[in-house]
Structure 1
Amino acid sequence: MRQATSGPGRTRPVWTILTVATVGMLLLPVGLVGFGILTPSVEVWDQLWETRLPAMITSTVGLLALVGLGSLVLGAGLAWLVSGYDFPLRRIFTWALVLPLAMPAYVLGFVFLAIFDFPGPIQTTLRDLFGPDVWFPDVRSLPGAATVMTLTLYPYVYVLARSALREQAPATFESARLLGDGRIRALRRVVLPLARPSLAAGLVVVMMETLNDFATVQYFGVETVSVGVYQVWRGMFDRDAAIEIAALVLVFALMVMAFERIMRGGRRYSQKGGQRGFERVALRGRRAWMATGICAVVVTIALGIPVVQLLVWTLTSPASVIDLPRAVEYLGNSLFMALVAAAGCVVVGLFAAGGARFSRSPLAKRLAPLVTVGYGLPGPVVALGVLVVIGWFVAMTDGSPAAIALVSLTGLTYAYIVRFVAVAYGSIDASLEKVSTSMPDAAHTLGASPWRVLRQIYLPLAKAGIGAGMVLVAIDILKELPIVLMIRPFGFTTASVWVWSMASESRWATAALPALLIVTIALIPIGIYVGDANPLRSLVRVRERSRPQTDDATSSDPVP
């Protein structure tokens, strides 16, 4: 009889070493940037403070405040509207309000400028009707940038707020109504406080994405600390100064996480009662159509008008303007990098999730979730850290263009894995968690190695989660701009870089086709998830996992 060599309770050092090495590799770029906080250069900071740093900090704080507040009001308000009331087309808008998540801010930004800026059709028509001195708000401004980013980021708050409303036991709300509170007052005093963890989670994702952006804000002439990282790196080629600013971006990210903790109010939450949600009130007449109109306006402005405008540019512009061969080439580069990096994220995610299960070591179990840290950090921070690593390897080569290009492409893939492995890990870990422990334990008892158990039991049963994780990572990489813009080798261009480059030169029609392709492809996973009862909730919860975890659980009843 075959003797068991690998029991279910036995510690396996190989998997522990693999987990530690994986986490160390992913945390290295972050640590290199974080080291800039501990070793500041007085000369660099003096120069930055005397030039543009105060304006950058002011713009960053203002943008975070405006986008955060706008997304919170719009996302939570729409979630309450579709959860608490019945009106025409409510079922359609329940999932349609998620679709603007597919529209990158740097795409909506240039369409917004093309329509509303001084040469655009809106201001041109107003001047024709009311004369050349007609007033119109300055589009290229901080409020303009905040408006565009709010329209693309509010779905994060909307998805989590709507999920929280669906999960709340209605007894507390009904009790408030019986005590004489109206629906709005009960919402303010009961529902919103109980939904605070979800609102805080959605808000922190919005603020992180705002901090990550440096393309959209440049359209509008807004200089944030993230913009400063790119400008110092590309304009001055001063890596040390860029790392110093990236360290400041990292500080802002940590402050956002701390702000989220404050919003939670230091409470724990637990769910009691049923999960049937609130009883919706049927709106009639003008109020019903006003509710429909509000939802329609948001979806139309955030997605409908931009898509129509991109189609018009694509179908009516000359072939020389559209430049189809180049657009196809750059989209091919994007898809290649997306597939390679997504596969890398899945492999690393399997190492981390598998290591936590197979090593039986408390160290591996504690370290595995740290692979998600990169997803909670802005792209420029990750890019600067990886650029330092790339510099080490370039110094080992012969300095030929081919060697530098190979190291740069490898570094770009590495940066994508650091930034997006959390998406794959979250999906894979959730799928592996559903596998009953009895089968792998029985296989271990019979002498099967962990690798065989992973290959023959876990992978077949978790293939749906692995596939979903790979698709989500690929879509995120396809839309990503800061990392590829900072790390790409000379002559290598992706669809997102091409869109940003053409839009920065006001060549709207040339940017239209690749932008339209990015939006179309990004709609695929969203279209899959909106078929669920809780659209995209799992995707947003993956983003929640990138934050330091607490024992707080989103739910209904606060526990002191």
Structure 2
Amino acid sequence: MTETSPSTALKPNRTSKRAQRQGSRVFAGVAWGVALACLLPMVAVAIAALTGGTDTISHLAATVLPEYSLTTLYLVLLVAFGTLLIGVGAAWLVTMCDFPGRRLFEVALVLPLAFPAYVLAYAYTFLLDHPGIVQTTLRNVTGWGPRDYWFPEIRSLGGAAIMLILVLYPYVYLLARAAFLQQSASAFLAARALGDNSWRAFWRVSLPMARPAVASGVLLAVMETIADYGTVSYFGVQTFATGIYTSWFSMGDRAGAAQLALCLLSFALLLAVAERVSRGRARYHHAGKRHDGMAPAELKGIAAGGAVALCAVPVLLGFLVPLAALALMGLESEQDLLSRRYIAFLQNSVTLAGLAALITLGAAVCLGFYQRLRPGRISGMANYLSRLGYAVPGGVIAVGLIVPFATFDNALDAFMREQFGIRTGLLITGSIWLLVMAYVVRFMAAALGAYEGGQSTVHANMDAAARSLGQSPFGMLRRIHLPILTPSLLTGLLIVFVDVMKELPATLILRPFNFDTLAVQAHRLAADERLEGAAVPSLVIMAVGLLPVILICRQVGRQANRR
């Protein structure tokens, strides 16, 4: 037998450790690069706003800032209350009650999530506006003139709130339903045994236990509300989102746009912090030593009919009615989806969405894997900073990116002209790469959530076994993690792809000249009151949005079958 010298025996181990350190450094560098890139727009907005002088902000404070603040606040309160009421109520009915069609409603209540709110706004304006189908039919039947009757104004703050509620309540519904399914029946039955009726037991026991999930769903809805531009812009509602776009393009006031963006950024971050602080150190645990699922209470008669009606209304108003309206509008339009122009819109949308989804997912994998390799405060901070973009509206991110990169492009152009007589123009500003960067910052949290959800299935022993066999971090990621995480990664890829397809404010501000997407085309046609034409790109956006909704519905269906 040939003996191996100690130095030879230790060589592979030293090589393995060196590869581990090098791999960790690479992932750390990429992770912190992504984190700083996600932080850049917020820092840039703050610097541009604070160095823009006080004249602009003083003028804004004396004119439009109070209106922007109050309107945004009212809209947030209306949407928060509406999504809370519909989402929690529907989740409780389909989870804790048994009535005709309950299994169908468990899935159908998710469907409105496929629509962007601005698409719903186009559909309901076509139906309910003065020249729309409903009011025209009313005048024809009754013989009334325009001044002979009162009809609710769809283009209003209340109308915008309803549009947002109808498409955002599924966030609350999904999280509340999952929380109710995880609750043990013990606490609820104990409350009933102590004399509480079903309503008091729900209010005092079940709802407080589901509070973290419900609060997270409402916070998601609120963040989407303050980030919305298409709906409020089309309805003429003056919020911070419309103010940023108006200041930037209509007035050419970049300092004012940056200061409004800072106000909106502060409001968004304040909401996130307030929710976290209000939760405090509260923790919720199952009562009892075992988890006993609650048997649904059977509803009959009027109660069953009321439950069916309460679940049917959100599905009807949030999915079926707008789908029928858009289909009718599309048939009446002269837009050809197969024309060269629309194929270009589709190609632009798919190109942006595909690039952004791939880059975002790759960055999320690096961030998540770095935290797996080096758990602690440093990796946790990089992960946290990368998630901040989801709390920042797309318009704020766009302003925060265009300010520093426009400054860089102008400085480089001036330097090259002075030194070499060469005009470089705008290399980064006005390119699709800056727009893709905005998407990456905006939707990094969604990709991270999908990756981390799958990563929890990879046991730590697998990592230890791979390291003991000499695998570098790259090898461990490629041979172990990625094959196991493929379903979660594909889900994250699809979610980011669809979110990018629907994103409007960042696209409007950062898109290259003559580079329009389906969302931009729908917005332009609707702004010109060509609603029938806007229906065609809107239907395509909705059809693409159905893909992740179908995945969610399949998951909901599997959970229902296990009950």
| TM-score after normalising by structure 1 | 0.90
Q: Which moved more, 1:167-176 or 1:268-277?
A: 268-277
Match of 1:480 in 2: 503
Match of 1:46 in 2: 58
Q: Deviations over 1:196-218 (max 9, x none)?
A: 11111111111100000011012
C-alpha distance in 2, partners of 1:44/1:144?
31
Match of 1:152 in 2: 167
Instruction: Note the C-alpha offset of 1:28.
Output: 1.2
Q: Which moved more, 1:171-180 or 1:210-219?
A: 171-180
The partner residue of 1:34 within 35, 40, 46 is 46
**Aligned 1:372-383 pairs, distance under 5 A:** 372-383=387-398
2:326 counterpart of 1:310: yes
Q: Deviations over 1:470-494 (max 9, x none)?
A: 1111011111111111110110100
Q: Deviations over 1:437-464 (max 9, x none)?
A: 3333333334332222222222222222
The partner residue of 1:448 within 465, 471, 478 is 471
C-alpha distance in 2, partners of 1:499/1:407?
21
C-alpha distance in 1, partners of 2:480/2:71?
52
Match of 2:117 in 1: 105
C-alpha distance in 1, partners of 2:166/2:409?
41
Specify the structure having the higher radius of gyration (Cα).
2
C-alpha distance in 1, partners of 2:183/2:465?
40
Match of 1:546 in 2: none
Which residue identity is paired with 2:150? W
Which residue identity is paired with 1:119? P
2:304 counterpart of 1:281: no
Number of positions where the alignment pairs a residue of Structure 1 with one of Structure 2: 536
**Aligned 1:58-457 pairs, distance under 5 A:** 58-130=70-142, 131-132=144-145, 133-261=148-276, 263-264=278-279, 267-273=282-288, 274-318=290-334, 324-359=339-374, 362-395=377-410, 396-397=412-413, 404=427, 408-457=431-480
Q: Deviations over 1:515-553 (max 9, x none)?
A: 11111111111111211248999xxxxxxxxxxxxxxxx
C-alpha distance in 1, partners of 2:479/2:295?
47
C-alpha distance in 2, partners of 1:240/1:195?
43
Q: What SS does the aligned partner of 1:3 have?
A: helix
2:6 counterpart of 1:6: no
Which residue identity is paired with 2:69? I
Which residue identity is paired with 1:307? L
Q: Is the 8 A contact 2:88 2:176 kept in 1?
A: yes
The partner residue of 2:492 within 445, 453, 469 is 469
Q: Is the 8 A contact 1:165 1:277 kept in 2?
A: no
2:52 counterpart of 1:24: no
C-alpha distance in 2, partners of 1:484/1:22?
21
C-alpha distance in 2, partners of 1:200/1:480?
24
Q: Is the 8 A contact 1:529 1:536 kept in 2?
A: no
Q: Is the 8 A contact 1:9 1:360 kept in 2?
A: no
Instruction: Note the C-alpha offset of 1:259.
Output: 3.5
Q: Is the 8 A contact 2:49 2:258 kept in 1?
A: no
Q: Is the 8 A contact 1:22 1:351 kept in 2?
A: no
Instruction: Note the C-alpha offset of 1:56.
Output: 0.9
Q: Which moved more, 1:404-413 or 1:494-503?
A: 404-413
| TM-score after normalising by structure 2 | 0.89
**Structure 2: 5+ residue runs without aligned partners?**
1-8, 417-421
Q: Is the 8 A contact 2:430 2:510 kept in 1?
A: no
C-alpha distance in 2, partners of 1:409/1:176?
58
Q: What SS does the aligned partner of 1:270 have?
A: coil
C-alpha distance in 2, partners of 1:185/1:266?
25
Distance change in 2, residues 1:258/1:405 (3 Å): closer
Instruction: Note the C-alpha offset of 1:188.
Output: 1.6
C-alpha distance in 2, partners of 1:118/1:275?
55
Q: Deviations over 1:379-405 (max 9, x none)?
A: 111111111233144223579798557
Match of 2:5 in 1: none
Distance change in 2, residues 1:400/1:316 (3 Å): farther
C-alpha distance in 1, partners of 2:29/2:198?
56
Q: Which moved more, 1:426-435 or 1:60-69?
A: 426-435
Which residue identity is paired with 1:467? L
C-alpha distance in 1, partners of 2:373/2:206?
42
C-alpha distance in 1, partners of 2:64/2:338?
38
Q: Deviations over 1:277-303 (max 9, x none)?
A: 432221112331232122222211111
C-alpha distance in 1, partners of 2:366/2:17?
20
Distance change in 2, residues 1:10/1:405 (3 Å): closer
Q: Is the 8 A contact 1:526 1:536 kept in 2?
A: no
Instruction: Note the C-alpha offset of 1:411.
Output: 0.3
Q: Is the 8 A contact 1:111 1:306 kept in 2?
A: yes
C-alpha distance in 2, partners of 1:326/1:443?
52
Distance change in 2, residues 1:480/1:401 (3 Å): farther
Instruction: Note the C-alpha offset of 1:90.
Output: 0.6
